[in-house]
A and B are shown apart, each in its own frame.
Chain A
């Protein structure tokens, strides 16, 4: 067994320096619900684990002029207990609520859900639909990256050595906006998405959709932002015809695999159906948000 070193720096600069200067295998520890399992099952044998939970900016939920910034190491329970965030971004909360059990949500974080880079991560399509922007800090300074540009394949991200996701910034939310995340699983709890769909829309005063973003999970090597699916709703009252176009665009964008959870054909079919249902839930929330 390797000799493992554990560090829990209280500043971002120290964390970056530790990771950037490390030789061998290093891992960031936030909630640990993936990393500790990988260590326990000998999938990884890190030389260095950097616990980022003592860094203040990773642990805060801040809101300024209706713009939320959520620290990447805020736990699922902390986020789903945050009333103002739940009211503003119910679809993101839908996704976070589906991450594991209550025990897992006591530790698991959105930053970890994104960086674990599972194609089926439940919070990620919801974050992409919301238009969340990740603030990344690293040895060469900070950069802001749309969430959809971070996973690049199963278990792989576009982060460079020494980089850490600090927080997620959500756009300001006009009245008439609503979002939703739904996933298809054989059971209602403790399962992994066969398909996941996040939808975020904004309606004008007349009920016409003026902005829409749609993202799919578990139908490709990474969660996908489907621009054609959002475009299918824009300019419509989100009626049956628009929803049919949305379903077609969502299904057309799928590049799934066959596995024990579902076949390619099943995933493609479900992606369309679920996209419609998520859009209808987002629509209902948008109409209530006046």
Chain B
């Protein structure tokens, strides 16, 4: 058994402390210790983007970060996207335009899409497609995802 490491971190504005083993990933701890199961595991090797979260404002695959590295970091997950009952415009349009089907890829894609719109409120379709290249979806064929992101971006610009 490896030594356990004490980690203090912030997730969606709430302070968390946990003990982890050094080989545990941030994804393991989010899902199994904090019970924040909105973040999904797809491939576990950084190829699919289902586990995308924000760490100190940068989007990463939480399967490729050790839980012990999260000490002192600010983490944002899908659980922090809606404000109470009020959905984020991205969530609204993913429902409205069927950007989500089976749903496994959706939390990661929503986090990635929000990261794009925070940097670039008016992306082209091509920019959306390239930005989301690291998020795999086997249901939608991507078109409905891209339309949902563009519709949310438009509404957010006009708000």
Binding site for B on A (CB under 8 A): 1, 3-6, 8, 29, 31-33, 36-37, 39-41, 49, 51, 53, 75, 77, 100-104, 106-107, 188-190
Interface membership of B63, Cβ < 8 A:
yes
Q: Is the contact region of chain B dominated by helix, strand, or loop, or is it mixed?
A: mixed
Closest partner residue, chain A, to B55 (CB atom): A106
Taking a contact as CB atoms closer than 8 A, the residue among A33, A36, A77 that contacts B25 in the complex is A36
CB within 8 Å for A189 and B46 given contacts A3-B2, A4-B23, A102-B112: no
Q: Sample 24 A-B pairs with CB under 8 A, ordered by A number.
A: A4-B21, A4-B23, A5-B22, A6-B68, A29-B69, A32-B69, A36-B25, A37-B64, A40-B25, A40-B44, A49-B66, A100-B46, A100-B134, A101-B46, A101-B133, A102-B115, A103-B52, A103-B134, A104-B64, A106-B55, A106-B58, A106-B60, A107-B61, A190-B47
Taking a contact as CB atoms closer than 8 A, the residue among A4, A107, A189 that contacts B64 in the complex is A107
Taking a contact as CB atoms closer than 8 A, the residue among B47, B64, B112, B130 that contacts A36 in the complex is B64
Contacts of A5 in B (CB 8 A): 2-3, 22
Cα distance A1–B24 in the bound complex, in angstroms: 13
Tell me the residues in window 2-18 of chain B with beta carbons closer than 8 Å to chain A beta carbons. 2-3, 5
Cα distance A5–B22 in the bound complex, in angstroms: 7
Is there an interface contact between B66 and A29, defined as CB atoms closer than 8 Å?
yes
Query: B130-142, CB under 8 A of A: which get 1 and which 0?
Result: 1101110000000
Contacts of B44 in A (CB 8 A): 40
Contacts of A53 in B (CB 8 A): 69
Which bucket holds chain B's interface residue count? 20 to 34
Closest partner residue, chain A, to B129 (CB atom): A189
Cα distance A77–B21 in the bound complex, in angstroms: 28
A56–chain B nearest beta-carbon distance, Å: 16
CB within 8 Å for A106 and B45 given contacts A5-B2, A101-B134: no
Taking a contact as CB atoms closer than 8 A, the residue among B46, B59, B66 that contacts A33 in the complex is B46
Interface membership of B1, Cβ < 8 A:
yes
